[in-house]
Structure 1
Amino acid sequence: MLLEILIPTFNREEFLIKNLDLLNSQISKLPNPTQVAIIISDNCSSDNTVKAVQEYIANSSLKIHLLQQDYNRGLEVNAVNALSAATAPWVMFLGDDDYLPDEYLKFIIEQISTRRDLGCIVPGSSRLYSDGTIRIIHGDEGKLTYLKPGFKSVLKISYFGHQLSGLTFLKDETMIEKYTASKYRNIQLFIYFIAFNIDNKSSIYAEKYKVLVSHFNHRHWNFDESGLLIDNYLNYLLLYENNIIKRIISCVVFTDKQKWRLRIGSIKKSLRSLNNILHSNKLPISLKATLVVYYIYASSYSLLQRALR
């Protein structure tokens, strides 16, 4: 077995079964379907999810391992549960209501089978709305970007890890142990896992393959006043635990690429976001001070742009 697809789930029976059907279709077309297995970690669903998956397993040739939490432990613990159970050298996270594009699995298997230097593959992303409308979020048509290992590559693509679906990376036990034993555990943990691999091995931004991300189902988590910036920062604080410069730069670059989280453009909302960050006991003073400088710059630039319109 080469790859395990990890699906954390909670109360999404209909979407999960649809996802399994689509995965079955893609896996069955691979030259060697036995190279891929699926791990589903159910977070104590109160609907018919577990029974539906058990019935699916009984009637399918797919290799599916169902894990069951005895109570709802939250997204982060459920995701780690699935990752810890994986035995394949490569893993891919997939949301229960998100769907892989055609040929993406085939591309993944080809790359991880032949490239010994590879550590991570990040797909493009499209958003699926309830009326069937699809909007591209990131990624150029037909484009593949191959990146060398290192800090520059982390800055370039690791922020895409905030969207878990389709992220494929080497399962490094040292990486997992470091994360689970740390004080930096957070709901945006996928960023740490891909950033670790991007920093240490070659990576591919496979933007031509756009994962379809459902944007209409109820989320089982919420944004805080910081837009989850604090959670995202924790991944870089852990990755660069002994390098204060890289810690600060990676967090500021993430903020700049995801500045909507800071809500720049709305003085009241952005000040609330900044205040939430400054009062966090999880972030070092050096980072907070730098973020204040960034906030002043970004807010001033936004105001200037509006004045010149």
Structure 2
Amino acid sequence: MNRIIDILIPTYNRCEFLAKNIQLLVQQISEANLQDQVAICVSDNCSSDHTQATVQELIQANPTISIYYHRQNTNIGLEPNVVDLMGRAVSPYVMWIGDDDYIADGYLAYCVAQIQEQNIGCIIPGLKNLNADGTVVDARNESFASKTYEPGYETMWAISHLAHQMSGILLTRDSLLESYLDKPAYRNPYLFIFWTADCLFRLGGIYAPIYKTGITTFNAKDWGYNQVGLLDEVFKSYYYFESKVSPIQLRELLLRFSKMHSYRYNIRKYEPLKLLKKYKILCSTLPIQLRGFNYHLALHLIKDYAKSWL
């Protein structure tokens, strides 16, 4: 088997968006002659719409493209569906895509070329937001088209937080699922952060903001934020490294994500008591002692709260 990438798409009740996604992927695969190297794998979390019939029609309409469809008997939840889908992958690399997100033209061929040229742990794309009014807002506007990062803690600290948005991320599949399942207490819906961080730590990777994945911003999600913006869940992805990095390094990973994604605190003027409550909740969820974490987090939140008055 010459296949090197399995494109993995977990889905639930987004039939029209999923169909568009698959059609665009089929177009990229065909135009770059990647039929023998790339497969599309869909895991349907027991959708109640026409997802099953639609995907079956797409399979029949594209006989030269490897499209695989699996339907869960019941809705098993977001994270279990992702874990199940990862377990069904067979290629050495996997690319994750949300059912309503769309990778950039040429990105798939770029990933294949990079895999063939070098041993990489992952590739992280850029982003653009697709809004309900039809506007497109570019994000991750870096000063470079792409950059290669060496393996190690510094790389993990610098860019692993970008994996909070999983669409378009390419990962080497080797040992990721086994490592994740090895610590069930740390399983969380942001498992892509752990997988990406692990690849960066062990093998390094590429950040290619020139290839911007289109992120649909207006669809309702099958989940919601808790009082601390699910930061307590995000942090679990970094707890996996407690035996691989120092306590100070682990603390800095958590603070780095917190600072880069402080919108999750929903900091508002005139609501200091609510912010204090969120701070206490988050600090109380830490399963391990990290010296100075509470102090540095408090400083960060105080600074962000002061900015809300400007």
TM-score (norm 1): 0.93
Query: How far apart are the structure 2 equivalents of 1:262 and 1:41?
Result: 32
Query: How far apart are the structure 2 equivalents of 1:260 and 1:304?
Result: 14
Query: How far apart are the structure 2 equivalents of 1:153 and 1:23?
Result: 30
Which residue of 80, 84, 87 corresponds with 2:87? 84
2:282 counterpart of 1:277 = yes
Residues 123-272 of structure 1 mapped to structure 2, 5 A cutoff: 123-140=125-142, 143-173=145-175, 175-182=176-183, 183-243=185-245, 244-266=247-269, 267-272=272-277
The farther-off stretch of 155-164 and 297-306 is: 297-306
Note if contact 1:139-1:210 (Cα within 8 Å) is conserved in structure 2: no
Deviation at residue 306 of structure 1 after TM alignment? 6.0
Q: Which amino acid aligns with 2:113?
A: E
Residues 281-292 of structure 1 mapped to structure 2, 5 A cutoff: 283-287=286-290, 290-292=292-294
1:33-81 Cα distance to aligned partner (Å, 9 max, x none): 2100011000010111011111211121320111111111111111111
Question: Any stretches of 5+ residues in structure 2 without a counterpart?
Answer: none
Which residue of 103, 106, 109 corresponds with 1:106? 109
The farther-off stretch of 58-67 and 92-101 is: 58-67
The farther-off stretch of 262-271 and 56-65 is: 262-271
Deviation at residue 242 of structure 1 after TM alignment? 4.8
1:88-141 Cα distance to aligned partner (Å, 9 max, x none): 00000000000011111111111011112x111000111111111111221337
Which residue of 53, 69, 81 corresponds with 1:66? 69
Q: Which amino acid aligns with 1:230?
A: D
Note if contact 1:120-1:170 (Cα within 8 Å) is conserved in structure 2: yes
Tell me what 2:29 maps to. Answer: 27
The farther-off stretch of 250-259 and 266-275 is: 266-275
Flag the 1:95–1:262 CA change in 2: closer, same or farther, 3 A.
same
Flag the 1:269–1:128 CA change in 2: closer, same or farther, 3 A.
farther
Flag the 1:294–1:36 CA change in 2: closer, same or farther, 3 A.
same
Structure 1 segments of 4+ aligned residues over 4 angstroms from their partners: 303-307
TM-score (norm 2): 0.92
Question: Any stretches of 5+ residues in structure 1 without a counterpart?
Answer: none
Give me the CA root mean square deviation: 1.8
Flag the 1:275–1:17 CA change in 2: closer, same or farther, 3 A.
same
Tell me what 1:42 maps to. Answer: 44
Give me the identity figure in percent. 34
